[in-house]
């Protein structure tokens, strides 16, 4: 292990009464919960972009983070150093996975050819570190949104040359993801959306977006990439309207273009709230459609209303997220990638550790509570009862699709509605709180 963060030792589980701020109180990787080790349920991931590449920049000000690599001026030397730093951080935190965009790990050069050469060089370093540590790649992706060429979108750019460039970039990113045994590949629609309908051919843009996804599937077959493809919904930001608005919209889009068997969803908490949904809502919609794949763990600030990507500390949300994930049978290829960044004012090295510890402990506690709620069948029993009228009589006929409007009218003419029961929301919320309080 490099010794870049020598002031911080490996973060250990010390239990809930620990006074050591650099310890886990709830995340105990080998502890078994609901028949599986915590680390295998949670499959935590580090986001390379926020943790290594980001510097605390916002629209009003420049970089604030104080990092050991700040003085390195050679771009490739810097990229290599960051790889070493990334793996040391993951080892010290006990984070078993990471996720990256192509442009996070290696700087873009003047030509695509040279950019790809640079990528290969850094992938060599990453591959060696993966071998040394056993840390794995949860998913790879391509940044087709930062460079000015993507100002009007990538797959949905009105300019075919940009579509071609994006395809070349995605092709290369898939190749390196495969080389690193990535368990998945994410498509987040960077600038795939529009600013104004006055200059936009929506139908052509949606067709082109679907074509790009189909081409990626074809290429995966060609090179034998077996990882899971994900789409990450987001309603707005950077564009006013992003095509992958929310889980429901993405599922509809994938079905329209016959792509739904090839993709699952990567649900991000802060994107859910930007869409006006809860995190649980997005997970539920993905789950009931058989498309829950992976999670970008973070949280927004409802008073701000933009993508603040904060480390998740909201225990209520974490419990309900883990509830959906467990009811889905747990992660298969996916995991909890902390697409989370430190506040601009949290510029010290220790803050990286505090950020990850807060998120990991929150989800560890969320897992334990959710497992108990499921074990006790608290909500399932209530919900099953609430819908029990579909188990027999007219309800069963409806559920079995055996009757039409005429029979239903005949039934309604004979039976006044007399069986409505309370939704008991407040009672259920109190029960949930009691499980959280422990
Ligand atoms: C942007 C976002 C991305 C994706 C990967 O809001 O969440 O970082 O997770 O491109
Ligand atoms: Co994300």
Q: For 106-156, write each residue's pLDDT tens digit.
A: 999 999 999 999 999 999 999 999 999 999 999 999 999 999 999 999 999
pLDDT for the residue 244:
98
For ligand 1, atom 8, the nearest C-alpha belongs to 339
pLDDT for the residue 350:
97
Q: What's the 193 CA to ligand 1 centre distance in angstroms?
A: 15
Which atom of ligand 1 lies nearest, measured to the CA of 145? Answer: 10
Top mutation candidate among 105, 234, 308 for ligand 1, by most atoms within 8 Å of CB: 234
Give the pLDDT confidence of 262-283 residue by residue, as tens digits: 999 999 999 999 999 999 999 9
22, burial (CB in 10 Å: exposed 0-12, middle 13-18, buried 19+): middle
For ligand 1, atom 10, the nearest C-alpha belongs to 188
Of the residues 41, 50, 102, 104, only one is catalytic, namely 104
166-202 as b/e: b if 16+ CB within 10 A = bbebbbbbbbbbbbbebbbbbbbbbbbbbeeeeebee
Does the annotation mark 30 as catalytic?
no
88 lines ligand 1 (CB under 6 A): no
pLDDT (average), residues 341-351 = 98
What does the alpha-carbon distance between residue 348 and residue 43 come to, in Å, rounded to a whole number?
Answer: 26
Mean pLDDT, the chain, rounded, equals 98
pLDDT (average), residues 278-289 = 98
Share of the chain above pLDDT 90, in %: 99
pLDDT (average), residues 314-323 = 98
Report the length, in residues, of the chain.
Answer: 438
pLDDT for the residue 2:
85
For ligand 2, an ion, list residues with CB under 5 A. Answer: 268, 296, 339
102 lines ligand 1 (CB under 6 A): no
98 lines ligand 1 (CB under 6 A): no
pLDDT for the residue 1:
83
pLDDT of residue 17 exceeding 90, the answer is yes
Tokens of 326: 């467990």
pLDDT for the residue 154:
98
Q: What's the 183 CA to ligand 1 centre distance in angstroms?
A: 17
Which atom of ligand 1 lies nearest, measured to the CA of 141? Answer: 10
pLDDT of residue 204 exceeding 90, the answer is yes
Does the annotation mark 17 as catalytic?
no
pLDDT for the residue 46:
98
Q: What is the end-to-end Cα distance of the chain in Å, rounded?
A: 39
- Strand-pair partners of 229: 185, 263
Give the pLDDT confidence of 160-176 residue by residue, as tens digits: 999 999 999 999 999 99
Q: What's the 143 CA to ligand 1 centre distance in angstroms?
A: 9
Top mutation candidate among 45, 146, 169, 188 for ligand 1, by most atoms within 8 Å of CB: 188
Name the pLDDT band for 426 (thresholds 50, 70, 90): very high
pLDDT for the residue 231:
98
pLDDT for the residue 121:
98
pLDDT (average), residues 184-195 = 98
Name the pLDDT band for 375 (thresholds 50, 70, 90): very high
For ligand 1, atom 5, the nearest C-alpha belongs to 188
- Strand-pair partners of 99: 47, 139
Name the pLDDT band for 313 (thresholds 50, 70, 90): very high
- Strand-pair partners of 331: none
Q: What's the 239 CA to ligand 2 centre distance in angstroms?
A: 15
Three-state SS for the chain is CCCCCCCCCCCEECCCCCCCCCEECCCCCCCEECCEEHHHHHCEEEEHHHHHHCCCCECCECCCCCCCCCCCCCHHHHHHHHHHHHHHHHHHHCCCEEEEEHHHHCCCCCCHHHHHHHHHHHHHHHHHHHHHHCCEEEEEECCCCCCHHHCCCCCCCCCHHHHHHHHHHHHHHHHHHHHCCCCEEEEECCCCEECCHHHCCHHHHHHHHHHHHHHHHHHHHHHCCCCEEEEECCCCCCCCEECCCCHHHHHHHHHHCCCCCCEEEEEEHHHHHHCCCCHHHHHHHHHHCCCEEEEECCECCCCCCCCCCECCCCHHHHHHHHHHHHHCCCCCCCCEEECCCCCCCCCCHHHHHHHHHHHHHHHHHHHHHHHHHHHCCHHHHHHHHHCHHHCCHHHHHHHCCCCCHHHHHHHHHHCCCCCCCCCCHHHHHHHHHHHHHC
Tell me which residue of 152, 236, 233, 140 sits closest to 180, measured CA to CA: 140
pLDDT for the residue 273:
98
């Amino acid at each position: 292990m490099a010794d870049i963060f020598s002031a911080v030792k490996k973060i250990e589980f010390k239990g809930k009464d620990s006074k050591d701020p650099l310890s886990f109180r709830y995340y105990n990787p080998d502890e078994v919960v609901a028949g599986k080790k915590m680390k295998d349920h949670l499959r935590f991931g580090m986001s390379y972009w926020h943790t290594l590449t980001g510097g605390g920049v916002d629209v009003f000000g420049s970089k604030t983070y104080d990092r050991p690599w700040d003085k390195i001026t050679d771009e490739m030397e810097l990229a290599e150093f960051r790889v070493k730093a990334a793996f040391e951080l993951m080892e010290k935190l006990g984070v078993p996975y990471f996720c990256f965009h192509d442009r996070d790990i290696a700087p873009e050069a003047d030509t695509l050819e040279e950019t790809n050469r640079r990528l290969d060089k850094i992938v060599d370093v990453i591959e060696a570190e993966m071998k040394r540590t056993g840390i794995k790649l949860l998913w790879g992706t391509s940044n087709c949104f930062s460079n000015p060429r993507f100002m009007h979108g990538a797959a949905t750019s009105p300019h075919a040359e940009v579509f071609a460039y994006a395809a070349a970039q995605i092709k290369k990113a898939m190749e390196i993801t495969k080389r690193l045994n990535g368990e998945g590949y994410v498509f987040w629609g960077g600038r795939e959306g529009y600013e104004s309908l006055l200059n936009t051919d929506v139908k052509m843009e949606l067709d082109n977006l679907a074509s790009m996804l189909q081409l990626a599937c074809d290429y995966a077959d060609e090179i034998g990439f077996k990882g899971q493809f994900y789409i990450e919904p987001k309603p707005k930001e950077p564009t006013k309207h992003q095509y992958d608005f929310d889980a429901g919209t993405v599922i509809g889009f994938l079905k329209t273009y016959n792509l739904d068997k090839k993709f699952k969803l990567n649900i991000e908490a802060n994107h859910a709230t930007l869409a006006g949904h809860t995190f649980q809502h997005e997970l539920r919609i993905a789950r009931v459609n058989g498309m829950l794949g992976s999670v970008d763990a973070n949280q927004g600030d409802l008073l701000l209303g933009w993508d603040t990507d904060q480390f998740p500390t909201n225990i209520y949300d974490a419990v309900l997220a883990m509830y959906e994930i467990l009811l889905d049978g747990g992660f298969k290829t996916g995991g909890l990638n902390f697409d989370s960044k430190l506040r601009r004012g949290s510029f010290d090295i220790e803050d990286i550790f505090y950020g990850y510890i807060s998120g990991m402990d929150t989800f560890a506690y969320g897992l334990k509570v959710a497992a108990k709620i499921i074990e006790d069948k608290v909500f399932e029993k209530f919900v099953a009862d609430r819908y029990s009228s579909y188990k027999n009589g007219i309800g069963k006929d409806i559920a079995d699709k055996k009757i039409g409007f005429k029979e239903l009218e005949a039934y309604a003419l004979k039976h006044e509605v007399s069986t409505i029961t309370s939704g008991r929301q407040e009672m259920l919320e109190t029960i949930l709180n009691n499980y959280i309080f422990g």
